[in-house]
Chains A and B, each alone.
Chain A
């Protein structure tokens, strides 16, 4: 791994960690576990587009670990949810970006990522409290993910246009 790539990836991890921490400060209007804006998904998309699935998963993994360290939630239930959601959504987005890029735009990929992120989170939450009743929140989370996924998708698409390729 050359030094330039290492530097940029650490920068990605830093930005994603900050986004992860900052979004935990915003109280969202729904008292449903697993609802998140998913701002750090922007960085996951950039990592997928610039480098590939390995790097993107690495960034997601480090982001959740560092973000949880600062949030004080290491190895708690919300850590398991964040980790599961981040890794699954990044993997799915990387897969679609790799093989179905001609069908879906960045915005579509981001929405799929957000839906998988929230779904994985609520399924992990249901496993943690051993209650299938939690799955009734799933439709609300999907609806919310469409909105936030579109938001992060447009942001990522804009950044992909604006970031000069030769600086990478």
Chain B
């Protein structure tokens, strides 16, 4: 390898700069799309879907005055999920990285909490209209 090739310290090549620009545009576009999805999600009754390994274990309503605590067991692992006044969070978990606990409270449709080691996903979905509430 020649010295000039290694000398990336001073000169980024044109392709590098194009690459960085392209990646930043893609990333910002993707973030914008996600935000847009968050903002334009349905305004119906919110529910939280709690799934383990892709199968929905439990669906809980998110509304004012509703409280619930769920001990989610999955083999040897557990997540303690708390629902208070239309918001949901994972209060405690035995996963090593604790990312799910640090995710904090969520309460807007399409927001999610993921606990990868325990394969738990909590996803908030909005009903298209309020029929769900009446049916319940």
Contact = CB atoms under 8 A, between A and B. Distances in A.
A146 interface: yes
A30 B36 CA distance: 20
Query: By DSSP majority rule, is chain A's interface helix, strand, loop, or mixed?
Result: helix
Contact of B114 (A72, A129, A145): A129
Contact of A146 (B20, B53, B96, B119): B20
A157 B27 contact: no
A32 B20 contact: no
Interface residues of B, number: 45
Contacts of B96: 72-73, 78
Q: Which of A76, A125, A140, A143 has the most CB of B within 10 A?
A: A143
A103 interface: yes
Task: Report the contact-size class of chain A (Cβ under 8 Å from the partner).
Answer: 35 or more
Interface in B1-50: 1, 3, 5-9, 11-13, 15-16, 19-20, 23-24, 26-31, 33-34, 37
A140 B31 contact: yes
Contacts of A146: 20, 23-24, 27
A117 B12 CA distance: 21
A108 B9 CA distance: 11
Given A78-B117, A138-B30, A129 B19 contact: no
18 contacts: A31-B102, A103-B13, A103-B15, A105-B8, A107-B8, A111-B19, A129-B53, A129-B116, A129-B121, A130-B54, A131-B51, A134-B114, A136-B112, A139-B28, A143-B28, A146-B24, A154-B8, A161-B6
